[in-house]
Structure 1
């Protein structure tokens, strides 16, 4: 399948490979586990949920401005580069977060800010999908990108685990004293993101802009006026698109919650060590990468809705099993955790291709900005549901500390996934979009 893809497709997909540094290492399996350890106090896990919920609100405010500005300027590559550079700087700044309770909120604020700029970069990155695909290949190209992201996570987690986390004395003489192994990992992640972002920035260059054709820059208020006008126009043109944006906003937040809190649960509820979490992360990324690339083939043949619905059903069942069987120990988490991993990527990729197939030509940045906006408008759901479920569980069980009831957080994430599934079921899949007039390169 992928042998037919040319360099532009691979250059585009390598940004996903590079994004593994932030998604897999920082947000999921290393820094989030580190920042919720006992060194940062007993309320660190719930504080993580609130910090990420706040980041979601900021993205909801900023994404429509970012998407519309990229469309008007005709320079999505420029904005992708700028936002990615900020992610690199914030990733490196996490080196400053030593394992002290008074530094908890420094770490959480840097992590939240990184999430904001990462999501803004993703708006511009997704808007470039139409340049490297056609309606006949968009499922496979999107699946390749997501798959490369997971496979990149495998390579990076192996390097981090074998070179820095596992040895008593790692590369460059690094030890775990003062969290130095994790903090140096953050510097490595910054470099990884930078290096693998360069191919797409150098390959898919923005077209030169002619002065008479440039649209004037508008402010935030005008951007939102245009946003609401765009929603009304999209509703008149294709109500399915607007319904999908609403449904996907909910289930995508649940999908993000699976990986965001997976490592936290592995360490806090199932007793995984830092090294164990990374080993599980490697296995999870192998499963997710293979399943996502394979699901791209199903997407092109069966349609993205079937992939999304089937994946969400499997996620709800598997997540519920993790909660019900949590006393079963590590084997439960390994089995059902890997099953969860197998279905997150396919749902994420199929969601992107569902939208890419029906976006009106020339409005990719705007609609993907709206995609990010609707997703982040409710992105407080999974983090808040996670934190609230833990608080409710502590009250129900009489736990002295909230982290003793951490496993109740699984129910919060499952509830968000179930709601997204119910909203997605009535969304009409419709016919595949017609071929764009400009063929994709590669």
Structure 2
């Protein structure tokens, strides 16, 4: 994907993006990055509970910002913020190019990996379906590994104050996984190698993401966490767009051949180079969070015992955080399903081909990226809970609209799809911001590990209801949208009852 003569183009994209974001943030320089705290924030669960119980003015209706308070009286260099955000940019092609739009759907689950005697026969469709099912099994196993490993690894990173080191290790493992994909050959004997690499890459990516999220407290403060979180998501979307557009451009121009296995091997190699190139800034410029030491390193079993105690303490002493983890697990499953099954709806119901789908995906990511960056300002002004609620209920309205207006055809799907994309990114970024605001200092990795775990634990709901509604409707795929809408609705209603974190005075 990224041959040598493409490097200058990438650097130009990076420069233009930084200039745009610099202009965007310049109006609020002193307010955003050089803000000082106007109130004192407690640094422990117990003291936080005491502050809340003593508040008598009605303004502290939830946990205040805690770990973030370490930066309220410090200058945060803009370079550090951009360096942090570029990790999202660097790793996004694994999801956008390799999993969602190019390598998996057009290579791994294609006729490249079927018995040649089956290709072109009546059994081809069934055989392709079996490939997709086997891929799903591999991803399910990866999800279980993430659910078991993410919280304890995050907890251990907190105890040793090594979140940046863990981020480096698991990002490096992700790079090696992507490199491995470039060696996968067509043929049945290579299929499970490809599935295994995609699955283990998902594990490495998710665990690295836990530590990346925990480093949010190193690049933001109680007044800017929403903007910075949104910036990271925006960088991710825009990076995915440019990577995907590069692949599509090379294929459409004839430089790469869409029906050649070599093309997909080069795409995987290009994604590897992309990640290596753009992860450098975060490891050079972003420090470990400066928080208190929470304890000695535990073994694996001891970590699970401590995890159980942590969940119990979380319920008793930081209940808004506990309930937010549950509510967000539900609506985040709906968010994931929107993109995963939206592509299925586009192909089956509205007749999108490969090129149509990729162009549609680029458009969705452009809208999502821009809206996410803009929504970061709304997050800090109105609070992350309000941003999430508007986004989630907006998604409910959009998915329902596609179902009701299906007879209007492709123009309607394009219009509603773009509106829908404008809600997805803000919901994701504001969720990370919400959690950062209610996470106690020194426990960022543990809580964000629980965030990953609860999301995986609820990851079956939308897909199950998708299948159930389709079955009840006589295998009409459009009815699956009602299942997704229901999951989003339940998650949104649950969030209504979660107390919002107190916002810092502007």
TM-score by length of 1: 0.86
Shift of 1:395: 7.0
Q: Which residue of 2 aligns with 1:8?
A: 80
8 Å CA contact 2:438–2:501 kept in 1: the answer is: no
Counterpart selection for 1:287 from 354, 364, 367: 367
Q: Could you say what secondary structure the match of 2:328 adopts?
A: helix
- Taking the TM superposition and a 5 Å limit, the aligned residue runs for 1:46-65 are 46-65=133-152
Q: Which residue of 2 aligns with 1:175?
A: 257
- Taking the TM superposition and a 5 Å limit, the aligned residue runs for 1:50-89 are 50-89=137-176
Q: Could you give the per-residue CA deviations for residues 303-326 of structure 1, whole angstroms, max 9, x where no partner exists?
A: 111111111111112122334444
Moved more, 133-142 or 408-417: 408-417
8 Å CA contact 1:144–1:296 kept in 2: the answer is: yes
Question: Quick one: distance in 2 between partners of 1:415 and 1:116?
Answer: 28
Aligned in 2, Cα 1:431/1:21: closer, same or farther, shift over 3 Å? same
Aligned in 2, Cα 1:430/1:357: closer, same or farther, shift over 3 Å? closer
Whether 1:276 and 2:356 are equivalent positions in the alignment is yes
Question: Quick one: distance in 2 between partners of 1:63 and 1:236?
Answer: 22
Q: Could you give the per-residue CA deviations for residues 383-405 of structure 1, whole angstroms, max 9, x where no partner exists?
A: 4444x34xx635743x6xxxxx5
Counterpart selection for 1:301 from 359, 381, 384: 381
Counterpart selection for 1:414 from 464, 485, 490: 485
Question: Quick one: distance in 2 between partners of 1:45 and 1:417?
Answer: 25
Whether 1:91 and 2:162 are equivalent positions in the alignment is no
Q: Could you give the per-residue CA deviations for residues 257-299 of structure 1, whole angstroms, max 9, x where no partner exists?
A: 2223433443444332322222112211110011101111111
Flag the structure with larger Rg.
2
Question: Quick one: distance in 2 between partners of 1:152 and 1:257?
Answer: 21
8 Å CA contact 1:56–1:380 kept in 2: the answer is: no
Q: Could you say what secondary structure the match of 2:129 adopts?
A: coil
8 Å CA contact 1:54–1:380 kept in 2: the answer is: no
Q: Which residue of 1 aligns with 2:71?
A: none
Q: Which residue of 1 aligns with 2:94?
A: 22
- Taking the TM superposition and a 5 Å limit, the aligned residue runs for 1:186-335 are 186-206=268-288, 216-326=296-406, 328-335=408-415
Q: Which residue of 2 aligns with 1:440?
A: none
Shift of 1:132: 0.6
Counterpart selection for 2:244 from 143, 148, 157: 157
Q: Which residue of 1 aligns with 2:14?
A: none
8 Å CA contact 2:238–2:365 kept in 1: the answer is: yes
Unaligned runs of 5+ in 2: 1-23, 34-77, 114-127
Shift of 1:50: 4.2
Q: Could you say what secondary structure the match of 1:42 adopts?
A: helix
Moved more, 177-186 or 311-320: 177-186
Question: Quick one: distance in 1 between partners of 2:398 and 2:165?
Answer: 41
8 Å CA contact 1:49–1:383 kept in 2: the answer is: no
Aligned in 2, Cα 1:309/1:321: closer, same or farther, shift over 3 Å? same
TM-score by length of 2: 0.76
Identify, as 1 or 2, the structure richer in helix.
1
Shift of 1:37: 4.5
Counterpart selection for 1:393 from 455, 470, 490: 470
Aligned in 2, Cα 1:417/1:47: closer, same or farther, shift over 3 Å? farther
Whether 1:380 and 2:460 are equivalent positions in the alignment is yes
8 Å CA contact 1:318–1:340 kept in 2: the answer is: yes
Aligned in 2, Cα 1:14/1:114: closer, same or farther, shift over 3 Å? same
